[in-house]
Amino acid sequence: MTIENLQENLIEDFSFFDDWTQKYEYMIELSKTLDKMDDSLKNDENLIKGCQSKVWLNADFKDGKINFIADSEAIITKGIIAILLMVFNNKTPDEIIKSDVSFIEKIGLKEHLSPNRANGLYSMIKQIKFYAIAYNKK
């Protein structure tokens, strides 16, 4: 599926929720679906610094696609990481570079991405794009 299709699916999934509690419960469920990140990968190099909750992001480039693995100390942050990885994992650098991230707004999670929250998610999206740019040159 293309990044765009995946985003559309997510927007549709989230549109069924009546209120924020259902949305949060879904994100908490999603947080549990994340692949376990090995502790050795939770190093300073992979740490995305944020005042509120730590986020680690590791990237591997294989067969022309980027493999991301990520984790956070906070569950809601992890839920959003799961959403981001559902969209961006195992995609080519070119697809990632050309993608739009406004779907986060459309599923009603914009507040978690504001730089004010300083939770590392804003930086995580930036970091995903940086990896894509870096691997694109290879």
- 42 near another protein (CB under 8 A): no
Between CA 7 and CA 107 the distance in angstroms is 9
Query: Is 51 assigned a catalytic role?
Result: yes
> Shortest Cβ distance from residue 21 to another protein (Å)?
7
- 129 near another protein (CB under 8 A): no
Of 51, 62, 102, 116, which residue is the catalytic one?
Answer: 51
- 25 near another protein (CB under 8 A): yes
Residues facing 72 on adjacent strands: 55
- 37 near another protein (CB under 8 A): no
> Shortest Cβ distance from residue 80 to another protein (Å)?
10
Query: Are the beta carbons of 45 and 38 closer than 8 angstroms?
Result: no
Query: What backbone torsions phi and psi does residue 73 show, to the nearest 5 degrees?
Result: -75, -25
- 21 near another protein (CB under 8 A): yes
Provide the Cα torsion 86, 89, 90, 93; round to 10°: 130
- 105 near another protein (CB under 8 A): no
- Give the DSSP letter of residue 52: S
How would you label 9-19 residue by residue, b for 16+ Cβ within 10 Å and e otherwise?
ebeeebeeeee
> Shortest Cβ distance from residue 20 to another protein (Å)?
5
* Residues designated catalytic: 51
Where does this chain bind another protein (CB under 8 A)?
Answer: 20-21, 24-25, 28, 51-54, 73-77, 112, 118-119
